A and B are shown apart, each in its own frame.
Chain A
Amino acid sequence: MDPVIELRQATKRFRSSSGGVHTAVSDLTMTVAAGEFVAVVGPTGCGKSTTLSLVSGLEPPSAGEALVGGSPVRGIPDGVGYMFQQDAIMPWRSVLDNVAAGPRYRGATKAEARAKARDWVDRVGLSGFERYYPHQLSGGMRKRVALAQTLVNEPRILLMDEPFSALDVQTRGLMQDELLRLWSGSGAAVIFVTHDLEEAIALGDRVLVMTASPATVKGSFPVPLPRPRDVEEVRLTAEFLEIYREIWDSLREEVETARERGAANVA
């Protein structure tokens, strides 16, 4: 099957504020098939998020190519959804109007957009909170709003940048289950960036391990755990631990490298 997302030797360099050049991602080659859930893990600050901006078209690659649906990315491709690490919902809009934003931008009438939004607010379990403003919601509920806001556009490609990292452990587990439930049957390809290996294995069909900065793919590990998965349960199975050990062996070196560099920078 043709990949939905493809990166070919993609490299992204930034000019740092001190005038030097910082390479966030170098020679990155990866593919994601339709409907595949790929979790990307790597040490903190290695350039995982940059990968997502290349696919989403927010940043063009400095070298190499990013393809979505077989054609090179110019601007933001159709059918892409992106969930950011920080809250990106509009604080001045109610839950309902936040979720309705996507359809409105895409030319739906107010009534159509609201009807669609109401449906999605229901699906993420926020019915009754339509008229609340974001500051009146908990962190987990705001993530649900963001999820509904992204999914209401029915993306073929879902990019997620550590979306649950700011949540407490219980809420995070709950949101992971919720995500799997909403994703199953949607047929969307997912790239889920995280620094939490447990999360990556619990969610993904495949785990990509990134090297310490500049990031490139170090290894790709299939996760043959059956679906549907219960995130809390699956962590406790023997297969899970087996996979965890295998991937951690690969990831550990990178984490240590990143840590040493961090220590060197501080010193």
Chain B
Amino acid sequence: MSHDTLVQPVTAESPLPDPRRAATKRRYTVWSIRVLLVVAVLGSWEYSASTFLDPFFYSKPSLVWQKLVDWFTVGTSQGSIWEQIEVTLEEALGGFVLGAIAGVVLGILLGRSRLLSDICAPFIKAANAVPRIVLASLFVIWFGLGMSSKIATAFVLVFFAVFFNAFQGAREVDRNLVDNARILGASRTQVLLTIVVPSATSWILASLHSAFGFALIGAVVGEFTGADKGLGLLINHSQGTFDAAGIYAGMIVITVLALLAEWGLSALEKRLLKWRPPAAGNEMQI
């Protein structure tokens, strides 16, 4: 027993709750309910599809699982599943990186220049109003069935998501910080690099989360529109052969990719923003 019990001795009848144990217990509860939910949903789906629903249209979890196992062991109708994943990821990543760079650079540039932003504002609004997904068709005509048309689709989706945040971030830089840096001897470029860019970073990082999702959508839709490889093509092919399980399996693979990317981006964000005070109620964030 320790000697630093200050107020009253803790007896076996009145144990004080240990906050760490309480947290562990809570996590345990949360996770078991989550697992239960998944089991309940999958179970009722499996049951309904085995009794009154037609599994031809609605498929069922065991069939989807079978399909996934099949893809990863035997291969897909288009060849190895890994090759499809690689192609889609490459397209998404290409569009993501190019779109993010263009969005950040242009966003910060326009955010810092009143004249430029005044000139460009109507064009950007118009471009943003275009349902960009239809551009995928145009890009297939321009760039062909290969990777570049998908990268282009992912690019336009990512660009606007990042651009508006970078623009806002560059706009909202604290005037005091800029003045202070100028007095300390910073040149225009130094102000941009040491004040504006770091200030806008939290805005930009926030947009990158949704942007990677957009990049995946761009790549998959691009493949849907016309491609010779990729997960989108796989789903399109499943649709063509009325293979509902194939569509679900494709969805699951894409979801896993998106979650992995999200996890990577969160790690990056944590590293870059370690200077920020921990937000209250961080635990509750989803």
With A58-B179, A153-B185 already in contact, the answer to whether A105 and B190 are too (CB < 8 A) is yes
Residues of A within 8 A of B190 (CB): 105
With A102-B185, A106-B185 already in contact, the answer to whether A82 and B180 are too (CB < 8 A) is yes
Scoring B177, B185, B187 by chain A CB atoms within 10 A of each residue's CB, the highest score goes to B185
B165-199 CB mask vs A (1 if < 8 Å, else 0) is 00000000010110111111111001000110010
- The answer to whether A231 has its CB under 8 Å from any CB of chain B is no
Interface residues of A in 152-172 (CB under 8 A from B): 153
Whole-angstrom distance from the CB of B250 to the nearest CB of chain A?
Answer: 41
Residues of B within 8 A of A86 (CB): 176
- The answer to whether B240 has its CB under 8 Å from any CB of chain A is no
Contact residue among B186, B201, B275 (Cβ-Cβ distance under 8 Å from A105): B186
- Contact status B194-A76, CB under 8 Å: no
With A76-B183, A153-B185 already in contact, the answer to whether A135 and B277 are too (CB < 8 A) is yes
What total count of A-B pairs have CB within 8 Å?
62
Residues of A within 8 A of B184 (CB): 101-102, 105, 149-150, 153
A174 to B183, CA, bound (A): 26
With A84-B176, A92-B275 already in contact, the answer to whether A101 and B183 are too (CB < 8 A) is no
- Contact status B195-A90, CB under 8 Å: yes
Residues of B within 8 A of A84 (CB): 176, 179-180
A239 to B277, CA, bound (A): 46
- Contact status B275-A82, CB under 8 Å: no
Q: Range of interface residues on chain A?
A: 20 to 34
With A90-B194, A91-B275, A135-B277 already in contact, the answer to whether A105 and B179 are too (CB < 8 A) is no
- The answer to whether B3 has its CB under 8 Å from any CB of chain A is no
Residues of B within 8 A of A91 (CB): 275-276
Contact residue among B180, B187, B201, B276 (Cβ-Cβ distance under 8 Å from A135): B276
- Contact status B276-A58, CB under 8 Å: no
A84 to B194, CA, bound (A): 19
- Contact status B185-A105, CB under 8 Å: yes
- Contact status A88-B179, CB under 8 Å: yes
- Contact status B183-A82, CB under 8 Å: yes
Residues of B within 8 A of A56 (CB): 183
Residues of B within 8 A of A105 (CB): 181, 184-187, 190, 194
A77-114 CB mask vs B (1 if < 8 Å, else 0) is 00011101011111111100000011001100000000
A86 to B182, CA, bound (A): 16
Scoring A82, A86, A92 by chain B CB atoms within 10 A of each residue's CB, the highest score goes to A92
Whole-angstrom distance from the CB of B205 to the nearest CB of chain A?
Answer: 12
- Contact status A81-B275, CB under 8 Å: no
| Interface SS of chain B | helix
- Contact status A88-B180, CB under 8 Å: yes
Contact residue among A90, A94, A153 (Cβ-Cβ distance under 8 Å from B198): A90
Residues of A within 8 A of B179 (CB): 58, 82, 84, 88
A90 to B178, CA, bound (A): 10
Residues of B within 8 A of A153 (CB): 184-185
Residues of B within 8 A of A87 (CB): 176
Residues of B within 8 A of A136 (CB): 277
- Contact status B177-A88, CB under 8 Å: yes
- The answer to whether A221 has its CB under 8 Å from any CB of chain B is no
- The answer to whether A133 has its CB under 8 Å from any CB of chain B is yes
Interface residues of A in 102-134 (CB under 8 A from B): 102, 105-106, 133-134
A58 to B184, CA, bound (A): 12
Residues of B within 8 A of A58 (CB): 179, 182-183
Whole-angstrom distance from the CB of B209 to the nearest CB of chain A?
Answer: 20
- Contact status A80-B183, CB under 8 Å: yes
A149 to B181, CA, bound (A): 10
Interface residues of A in 129-145 (CB under 8 A from B): 133-136
CB nearest neighbor in A for B278: A135
CB nearest neighbor in B for A134: B275
Whole-angstrom distance from the CB of B193 to the nearest CB of chain A?
Answer: 11
A136 to B273, CA, bound (A): 14
A81 to B185, CA, bound (A): 10
- Contact status A81-B194, CB under 8 Å: no
- Contact status B182-A92, CB under 8 Å: no
CB nearest neighbor in B for A78: B185
A56 to B190, CA, bound (A): 19
Interface residues of B in 139-187 (CB under 8 A from A): 174, 176-177, 179-187
CB nearest neighbor in B for A85: B176
Whole-angstrom distance from the CB of A214 to the nearest CB of chain B?
Answer: 22
Whole-angstrom distance from the CB of B210 to the nearest CB of chain A?
Answer: 23
Residues of A within 8 A of B198 (CB): 90, 92
Interface residues of B (CB under 8 A from A): 174, 176-177, 179-187, 190, 194-195, 198, 201, 273-277
Contacts A58-B183, A105-B194, A133-B274 supplied; 11 other A-B pairs, CB < 8 Å: A80-B183, A82-B180, A90-B177, A90-B198, A91-B275, A91-B276, A101-B194, A102-B184, A102-B185, A149-B184, A150-B184
Show 12 A/B contacts (Cβ-Cβ < 8 Å), sorted by A: A76-B185, A82-B183, A86-B176, A90-B194, A93-B275, A101-B184, A101-B194, A102-B184, A105-B194, A133-B275, A149-B180, A150-B184
